[in-house]
Amino acid sequence: MFKNLDPLLHSQVRLAIMTILLNLKSAEFSFLLANIETTKGNLSFQIAKLKKAHYIHIKKSFRNNYPLTILQITETGIIAYERYMETISDYFNKSQQKLLN
């Protein structure tokens, strides 16, 4: 039996955001934009979805009179990411088992 994948994380951009934040704990919007192939508008849209689910926390401030947005993964986000990775690994393991049988 296959478990359901978290639809929120089953998106290339959102999964990339979460993967970066999991490893760095926090990152600036500009860093994410430079490391994820997407537009500013799409990145903002995907970030809003993760924030609404409480997977990330957003801190807005200014640096040298320019807006600064820092994103941080939450405990809820870490748990969701780990579950997602376990579930996707389970899919691969079951796939390999069927190939061997």
Q: Write out the residue range of the structural domain in which residue 41 sits.
A: 12-100
Q: Which of 27, 24, 29 is nearest to 39 (CA)?
A: 29
Whole-model pTM?
A: 0.89
Give the distance between the most distant pair of CA atoms in the chain. 63
- Say which CATH number the domain at 54 has: 1.10.10.10
Q: What is the Cα–Cα distance from 70 to 90, expressed in whole angstroms?
A: 33
Domain annotation covers residue 58: yes
DSSP summary character for residue 95: H
Domain annotation covers residue 2: no
pLDDT less than 70: residues of the chain: 97-101
Total domain count, the chain: 1
Q: Which pLDDT does position 100 carry in this prediction?
A: 59
Domain annotation covers residue 6: no
Domain annotation covers residue 59: yes
